[in-house]
Structure 1
Amino acid sequence: MRIVIMGTGPFAIPSCDRILSSGHTVSLVVTRPVVDPAAKKQPVRPVFSWAVEHGLQVFEPPSINSPEAIQRLKIEAADLFFVCDYGQILSAECLNASRLGGINLHGSLLPRHRGAAPVQWTILSGDPDAGATVILMNAKLDAGPAVSVVRTTILPDETSEHLESRLAILGAKCTEEAIEKLSAVSVIDSETIAGLGVQQDRLLITKAPRFSKQDGQLDFRLSANYLVRLVRACQPWPGTFAELAWRGSDKKMRLLIRSARAVEESSARPAGEAWQVTQSELDSWKVNELGESWPQAIAVSTGNGLLLIGRVQPAGRREMSVEEFLRGHALTNGGTFVLPASPVKQLVE
């Protein structure tokens, strides 16, 4: 088949590789343009770099739904559009510019987590499993029938960054399966759609909007389990943060919390109180069985349970283990993480 790829971010790359090696023709790669060419720091555009590396023709329209862009796509006479991590919603007119319309690889088990941040919301929601779904596209966001699905168990310490990388690789096989199914189709109609995929159950729809920087603020009045999910979901962006104040001192420091685990341990200490704990204490709580072994951690009392912090990044500095951090900033007398002036509402229960 003659395929047009539409993508911008890294999630699309494994599928792009799979399509290119499958024997189908990639006639054009459509990607988001640079907004400000004069800016010193340019956005990373992995799909653009991939297309250039493979000598493929690139098209960078400001709007994929403009008359000019649609006319350009019609000239391509593509059999199929493959859309992944692109950043724009295709109109019905745009989808009609190819013989079979388009398929989209989405980083969740649809209909859960429709939207721009499916992997982050999968982790934040505490889902036991994650997945990737290839849908036959329509003009609504992530709403078409599922043509191919893959499921995987989320690992105990897994962050959004790591899970997204895994799903991109697993999803590439879904992309290949969906394209092979469509290779046998001459036209897309209601009968064909019924045979190709499964309609999404509207009662199971959840939304996955993009996170903001403020969503990463930690409020230790919330439960340790929720805060750990938030830390994992927000890696690497927007990151989770809190301000640590040392007891008996005016010293304060803003920290990005890069790795955390929860212990269902009751504490009479007020929410936000922090102290350093040793490996023997960590071993007694069996937290090092969850992943990388921590020789030390910072324990924080929360609204329910203890939050254990294993890696931090002081403002303006590099990421480091808590063991390294405490060598220069010991919590000998303990400390307190400053609570937000107004309680932070959980993004999800």
Structure 2
Amino acid sequence: MRITLVGSRHFGVTTFDMLRNHGVEIARVVVADGEDRLAAAARAAGVEVTVQADPKLVVGSEIAEGTDLIVTAHSHARISQGALAAAKLGGIGYHPSLLPRHRGIAAVEWTIREGDPIAGGTVYHLAERMDAGAIAAQEWCFVKKGETARELWERALAPLGQKLLAQVIDYAKTHKSLPAKPQDEQFATRAPALSH
């Protein structure tokens, strides 16, 4: 299975490492910033790196030829319809909430702000609307009392992301398709960036 990984930062690197240990081929890494640590990790491993022409959008020509699946890991760019069409199975991303709850850039912060006793992670199909694609895998975890958003992310949600992405990739390798359960729109909530 050939994967184009779109991402950044620490979660991008841990996802890169997980994929490399998971018997898939990383055909290309796409980043918004050529100096990002994910770009450095990919170059060190001899994987081709492409820097997005537009940091907010990934286009079809930036996806490696023959890609089976696009995986996003800490990417804030929209994956265009053309990019999704360039991959046999489309694309998946990890969102640190129990979608459709807390759609948006600040999901973990909103989990803490709302006092949610339970958090979770969702691997979802990349779609036209942000964080609104069908659910491929989902799992919940408890939120500790007094925990910060960063602590919750590092303790539970980032490791959960690796686990769920690996599960969905294993499924895709076996079935040549992705599991898909539509999100129930009546439960959708927004998690826009919080101004401090």
TM norm. shorter chain > 0.5: yes
Name which of 96, 100, 121 aligns with 1:107: 96
**Ranges of 4+ aligned residues in structure 1 off by more than 6 Å:** none
If asked which structure has higher relative contact order (CA below 8 Å, sep 6+), I would say: 2
The residue aligned with 2:47 is 56
Distance 1:163 1:50 in 2: 25
Corresponding letter in the other structure for 2:113: L
Distance 1:124 1:83 in 2: 26
Name which of 57, 67, 87 aligns with 1:98: 87
The residue aligned with 1:9 is 9
What does 1:259-278 align with in structure 2 at a 5 Å threshold?
none
For the Cα contact (< 8 Å) 1:14–1:168, is it kept in 2?
Answer: no
The residue aligned with 2:173 is 183
With normalisation by structure 2, the TM-score equals 0.90
Identity rate, percent: 32
1:124-181 Cα deviation digits (max 9, x unpaired): 1110011111012212101111111121111112111111123111210100011111
For the Cα contact (< 8 Å) 1:110–1:133, is it kept in 2?
Answer: yes
Unaligned runs of 5+ in 1: 35-43, 214-349
1:178-212 Cα deviation digits (max 9, x unpaired): 111112344x6xxxx6xx12211101101111122
Structure with max Cα Rg: 1
With normalisation by structure 1, the TM-score equals 0.52
1:200-251 Cα deviation digits (max 9, x unpaired): 11011011111223xxxxxxxxxxxxxxxxxxxxxxxxxxxxxxxxxxxxxx
Would you say 1:210 and 2:188 are equivalent positions? Answer: no
Output the aligned Cα RMSD: 1.9
Unaligned runs of 5+ in 2: none
For the Cα contact (< 8 Å) 1:131–1:151, is it kept in 2?
Answer: yes
For the Cα contact (< 8 Å) 1:8–1:31, is it kept in 2?
Answer: yes
What's the secondary structure of 1:77's corresponding residue?
Answer: coil
Distance 2:140 2:159 in 1: 12
For the Cα contact (< 8 Å) 1:150–1:171, is it kept in 2?
Answer: no
Would you say 1:160 and 2:143 are equivalent positions? Answer: no
The residue aligned with 2:135 is 146
For the Cα contact (< 8 Å) 2:30–2:62, is it kept in 1?
Answer: no
For the Cα contact (< 8 Å) 2:119–2:142, is it kept in 1?
Answer: yes
